């Protein structure tokens, strides 16, 4: 293939690539505008969440645990009168609606309720995390795309086209960075809130499970002095096995 043929192919490929890249400029700018609108929306969403949920969560966890342990009133009333969030109250009360469940069944239900609550928070965080990544990426694309025509205009002495291209590049960069800053800040604040929410929920659920477990097992007083050595060893073995089982269950839930 001659040099003229190679040049022709190269020019053809370059024009196709240039056409494709230049055609992305308007979609990128539109998406950046939508992301900026989304950034304003999540700011409003965060403020609304603060006033409707976070500000009302005035909970002293030790006092709530003492109230549940005292068993002065049904657990449902204690939970409804606490400072837990609405979704947290619903999860804990759902756990108390099934007294016929065994201990293992209640623990499985508790794990499921906690996972559902965590999944809800994770979905909310993924939105702002995605915006934090898309903002700079699209901003960079919006910066580089108009620079090609700007460089060509510079070579032709067309300063107006050059200045317009540079202005577009700077505007898209600033827009992408603004979206990213807002999204990162919102994600950080929400992560701290949600970590606290989940810690409170898990502690409350554990407390309720322990209370229900204590109700299921009647108190039995055993006079160890009247037991034979074989009965004493058998009892110690059962207590040891039960302790190991509870430890394994706690580790599994912690994972």
Model confidence, pTM: 0.73
- In DSSP notation, 129-164 reads HHHHHHHHHHHHHHHHTTHHHHHHHHHHT-HHHHHH
The answer to whether residue 1 scores a pLDDT higher than 60 is: no
State the Cα–Cα distance between residues 207 and 226, nearest whole angstrom: 35
Tokens 């308007």 sit on residue: 26
- Locate the domains of the chain by residue range: 25-219, 222-255
| pLDDT (tens digit per residue) in 193-235 | 999 888 888 888 888 887 777 665 554 555 556 556 666 677 6
186, 140, 174: which is closest to 38 by C-alpha?
186
Q: What is the per-residue pLDDT for 53? A: 81
Q: 208 near 75, Cβ under 8 Å?
A: yes
129, 134, 128: which is closest to 49 by C-alpha?
128
Q: 55 near 46, Cβ under 8 Å?
A: no
Q: What is the per-residue pLDDT for 158? A: 81
Record the tokens describing residue 17, joined without a space.
């690539």
Q: How many CA atoms lie within 13 A of 142 on its CB side?
A: 26
Write the CB contacts of 146 (distance below 8 Å, at least 6 apart in sequence): 25, 164, 165, 166, 168, 169
More confident residue, 86 or 58: 86
Q: What is the per-residue pLDDT for 191? A: 94
**Quick one: 73 exposed, middle or buried, by C-beta within 10 A (0-12, 13-18, 19+)?**
exposed
| pLDDT (tens digit per residue) in 72-114 | 777 777 777 777 888 888 888 888 887 777 778 888 888 888 8
Q: What is the per-residue pLDDT for 68? A: 73
Q: 200 near 59, Cβ under 8 Å?
A: yes
Q: What are phi and psi of 152, to 5 degrees?
A: -60, -45
Q: What is the per-residue pLDDT for 69? A: 74
- What is the pLDDT confidence band of residue 251, given thresholds at 50, 70 and 90? low
The answer to whether residue 255 scores a pLDDT higher than 80 is: no
State the Cα–Cα distance between residues 160 and 51, nearest whole angstrom: 49
More confident residue, 248 or 35: 35
More confident residue, 129 or 56: 129
State the Cα–Cα distance between residues 64 and 73, nearest whole angstrom: 12
| pLDDT (tens digit per residue) in 133-178 | 999 999 999 988 888 888 888 888 888 888 888 898 999 999 999 9
Q: What count of other Cβ atoms lies within 10 Å of the Cβ of residue 85?
A: 19
């Amino acid at each position: 293939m001659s040099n003229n043929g190679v040049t022709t192919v190269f020019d053809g490929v370059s024009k196709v690539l240039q056409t494709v890249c230049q055609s992305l400029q308007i979609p990128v700018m539109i998406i950046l505008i939508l992301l900026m609108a989304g950034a304003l929306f999540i700011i409003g969403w965060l403020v609304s969440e603060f006033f409707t949920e976070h500000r009302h969560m005035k909970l002293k966890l030790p006092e709530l645990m003492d109230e549940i342990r005292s068993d002065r009133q049904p657990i449902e009333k204690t939970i409804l009168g606490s400072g837990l969030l609405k979704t947290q109250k619903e999860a804990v009360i759902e756990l108390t609606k099934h007294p016929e469940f065994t201990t293992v069944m209640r623990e499985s239900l508790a794990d499921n309720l906690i996972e559902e609550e965590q999944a809800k928070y994770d979905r909310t965080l993924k939105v702002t995390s995605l915006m934090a990544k898309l903002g700079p990426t699209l901003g960079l694309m919006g910066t580089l795309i108009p620079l090609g025509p700007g460089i060509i205009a510079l070579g032709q002495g067309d300063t107006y086209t050059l200045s317009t291209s540079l202005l577009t590049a700077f505007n898209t960069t600033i827009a992408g960075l603004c979206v990213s800053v807002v999204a990162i800040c919102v994600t950080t604040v929400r992560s701290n809130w949600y970590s606290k929410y989940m810690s409170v929920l898990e502690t409350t659920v554990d407390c309720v499970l322990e209370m229900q477990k204590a109700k299921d097992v009647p108190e039995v007083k055993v006079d160890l002095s009247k037991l034979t050595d074989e009965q004493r060893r058998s009892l110690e073995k059962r207590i040891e096995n039960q302790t190991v089982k509870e430890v394994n269950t706690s580790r599994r839930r912690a994972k």
